[in-house]
Amino acid sequence: MHDKTVTQLAAALKSGEFSSRELTSHFLQRIEQADGTLNSFITVTAEQALEQAEVADQSRKAGNAGTLTGIPLALKDIFCTQGVKTSCGSKMLDNFIAPYDATVVEKLRTAGTISLGKTNMDEFAMGSSNENSHFGAVKNPWDLSAVPGGSSGGSAAAVSAGLVPAAMGTDTGGSIRQPAAFCGITGLKPTYGRVSRYGMIAYASSLDQAGPMARTAEDCAHLMNVIAGHDVRDSTSVARGVPDYTETLNAPLSGLKIGLPKEYFGDGLDPEVEKAIRAAVKEYESLGATVREVSLPHTHYAIPAYYVIAPAEASSNLSRYDGVRFGHRCNAPADLIDLYTRSRAEGFGEEVKRRILIGTHTLSEGFFDAYYTKAQKVRRLIRQDFLDAFEDVDVLMGPASPTPAFDLGAKKDPVSMYLQDIYTIAVNLAGIPGISVPAGFAGGRPVGLQILGTHFAEAQLLNVAHQFQQATDWHLQLPAFAEENA
Amino acid sequence: MALEDSHVRRAAHLARLAVSDDQASGFVDDLSRILDMVDQLQSVDTEGVMPLAHPLDATQRLRADEVTETNQRDSFQRCAPAVEEGLYLVPRVVE
């Protein structure tokens, strides 16, 4: 069962080949067997999952099943889940039982999906390798000495290893696309505002976006049909009609105009990654697309702009963790300031502290204009680069990451780690959607092809990705780990 | 823009984050490298460019000033570190 896509599992549930309870038990058993090695889950909710599966099976018998009724999923531990620990990968929230459901969680539950638990992640979604979790690093199922990518590394590794058929992630600077690329699965970051952020623990509010991670674009389309849409509880959520993302998956690609940003194929790009990406683009040409080079001239400034804007927003968002209303509290505080400062020092990890300090410094008196205002101006130029490019082409293509997954512990310097996100980070600054699809291997580790579209072009991206997956089989390949732990 | 120990201590104070002497010197090194990277922004000509705070260039929507939530104090205080009679407990702030 674990080698099937969500679409295939939904068809099997519908035909009665197996029940949701059997399917859920199968995945729970795999988690129990394999996750001691992978560490992709922080919390497994086996009992609740089996109860939900019973309900799904009853719904199906009663003729009330929807497309995804009875499908097991996992949720990045950033989504508040009522009655379940929601830690955001942090010691600060190790004791936090969310009192309500995030909108995404509520929608998935209403659709009849089964949550198997909460997946591991970089603390407060700050990281590109999943080594910043309070609950330990996650390992890449393709090579246990490699990182799975971050910050949705637990979700990516769990899907890749066949511990769950799909999972939810979030993407602030590439945190769905990069781990999807590193783990050989498909991950979609929707347009900013397309999916509600209500109940999603905030890192950088003008950049964060939830999205699906699964084996195929088709599976992501099914999940988008459930999670996309306006939410009055999220004031950044966009009031705009939601298409059926599965309806246009099979539209032919003849006449599709693909742009290759020249800045995405320069120094620092691993030659084997480049070879795989260029081969994928050739495949698109054979499907009827035309290709031309384009330029995104401010690409080089995306990482510097991000590392002003995201920490600035984080320093504000994370000020709520003060040891008073929820989260970690230090022992025997001498006074209120001691309570705040020690609770925060004990609860946050090093990378979170680094970003809080950078954000607080750049927002402080005397530095605000030189850093924050400047970065927001550069952000507009970065966004305009994309809008200009989409005047000439339908989609942009390039690598999701300059290298395949790197080794655990290989990047000690924070700046060298930050540079890993060179091809993903500008997308969040501009708010456009992007998808990563498996497109080959480099040194035995997966390579992700990133496809970008203009605002609200998710249906087109899913169509373009799906057609590639009809013509290739990279997305069907499983790591040996998935079979060894069957 | 060179970063000094005093900058880190000031930021830590503003952020209400306890930082030991050893940690502060480590943060000076890390944050200096990050700010060196960030300083590349200064070479971009942004004359006449408006800052972009929202990626869709939208303004924040306001909701009607109406009560929509019910009182859930008991539920929310279940995850608090210390409460008494419906109040959050903190060290004494008024003598």
* pLDDT given at position A14: 97
Distance separating alpha carbons of residues A397 and A448, to the nearest angstrom: 11
Percent of chain A with pLDDT over 90: 95
B17 and A207 within 8 Å at the Cβ level: the answer is no
In a 3-state reduction of DSSP, which class is residue A365? coil
A28, A139, A88: which is closest to A481 by C-alpha? A139
In chain B the first and final C-alpha atoms are separated, in Å, by 43
Confidence of residue B69 (pLDDT cuts 50, 70, 90): confident
Q: How many CB atoms lie within 10 A of CB B78?
A: 12
Enter the DSSP assignment of A370: I
A378, A431, A371: which is closest to B49 by C-alpha? A378
Residue whose entry in the numeric block shows the structure tokens 């060894």? A484
Distances (CA, A) of A387 to A117, A422, A432: 39, 19, 10
Beta strands A257-261 and A395-399 are parallel
Per-residue pLDDT reduced to its tens digit, A444-460 = 999 999 999 999 999 99
Q: Which pair of tokens denotes residue A130?
A: 């999943």
Per-residue pLDDT reduced to its tens digit, B35-52 = 999 999 999 999 999 999
> Phi then psi for A436, rounded to 5 degrees?
-115, 130
A residues 237..256 contacting B (CB < 8 A): 238
Distance separating alpha carbons of residues B35 and A180, to the nearest angstrom: 29
A314 Cβ contact list (under 8 Å, min separation 6): A124, A126, A203, A204, A352, A355, A356, A359
In a 3-state reduction of DSSP, which class is residue A360? helix
Per-residue pLDDT reduced to its tens digit, A362-404 = 999 999 999 999 999 999 999 999 999 999 999 999 999 999 9
Distance separating alpha carbons of residues A449 and A177, to the nearest angstrom: 9
Distance separating alpha carbons of residues A208 and A266, to the nearest angstrom: 28
Confidence of residue A40 (pLDDT cuts 50, 70, 90): very high
Beta strands A434-442 and A210-214 are unpaired
* pLDDT given at position B59: 85
A377 and B39 within 8 Å at the Cβ level: the answer is no
* pLDDT given at position A412: 85
HEC per residue, A419-440: HHHCCCHHHHHHCCCEEEEEEE
Task: From chain B, pick out residues whose CB is under 8 angstroms from the CB of A430.
Answer: 55
Radius of gyration of chain B (CA): 22
**Closest in B18, B58, B92 to A345, CB measured:** B18
Per-residue pLDDT reduced to its tens digit, A206-261 = 999 999 999 999 999 999 999 999 999 999 999 999 999 999 999 999 999 999 99
Residue to test with chain B: of A101, A357, A415, A419, most B Cβ within 10 A: A357
Average pLDDT, chain A: 97
Distance separating alpha carbons of residues A426 and A434, to the nearest angstrom: 11
| DSSP sequence for A37-66 | HH--EEEE-HHHHHHHHHHHHHHHHTT---
Task: From chain B, pick out residues whose CB is under 8 angstroms from the CB of A418.
Answer: 34, 37
Hey, what amino acid is at A256? L
A356 touches chain B (CB under 8 A): yes
In a 3-state reduction of DSSP, which class is residue A118? strand
B60, B52, B42: which is closest to A384 by C-alpha? B52
What number is the average pLDDT over the span B65-94?
Answer: 93
* pLDDT given at position A226: 98
| Closest chain A residue by Cα to residue B39 | A304
Contact by Cβ (8 Å): A386, A434: no
**Which letter, b or e, does each residue of A262-282 get, where b requires 16 or more Cβ atoms within 10 Å of its Cβ?**
ebbbeeebbebbbebbbebbe
Hey, what amino acid is at A82? Q
A201, A221, A211, A137: which is closest to A167 by C-alpha? A211
Range scoring the smallest mean pLDDT among A274-283, A376-385, A461-470, B74-83? B74-83
Q: Which helix (H) or strand (E) holds A73?
A: strand A72-76
Helices (H) and strands (E) in chain B, counts: 3, 2
B81 Cβ contact list (under 8 Å, min separation 6): A323, A324, A326, A327, A328, A329
| DSSP sequence for B34-80 | HHHHHGGGGGS--TTPPP--STT-PPPP---S---PPP-HHHHHTT-
Cis status, amide bond into A401, omega within 30 of 0: no
Confidence of residue A486 (pLDDT cuts 50, 70, 90): low
Contact by Cβ (8 Å): A224, A465: no
| DSSP sequence for A391-424 | HH-SEEEEESSSSSPPBTT---SHHHHHGGGTTT
Per-residue pLDDT reduced to its tens digit, A412-442 = 888 888 888 999 999 999 999 999 999 999 9
* pLDDT given at position A74: 98
Confidence of residue A359 (pLDDT cuts 50, 70, 90): very high
A208 Cβ contact list (under 8 Å, min separation 6): A125, A170, A171, A172, A197, A200, A202
Per-residue pLDDT reduced to its tens digit, A104-155 = 999 999 999 999 999 999 999 999 999 999 999 999 999 999 999 999 999 9
Task: Tell me which of A76, A118, A139, A189 is the catalytic residue.
Answer: A76
Confidence of residue B1 (pLDDT cuts 50, 70, 90): low
Distance separating alpha carbons of residues A143 and A420, to the nearest angstrom: 19
Residue A485 scores a pLDDT above 90? no
B80 and A325 within 8 Å at the Cβ level: the answer is yes
Per-residue pLDDT reduced to its tens digit, A54-77 = 999 999 999 999 999 999 999 999
A377 touches chain B (CB under 8 A): yes
Task: From chain A, pick out residues whose CB is under 8 angstroms from the CB of B1.
Answer: 367, 370
What number is the average pLDDT over the span B20-32?
Answer: 91
Distance separating alpha carbons of residues A361 and B28, to the nearest angstrom: 12
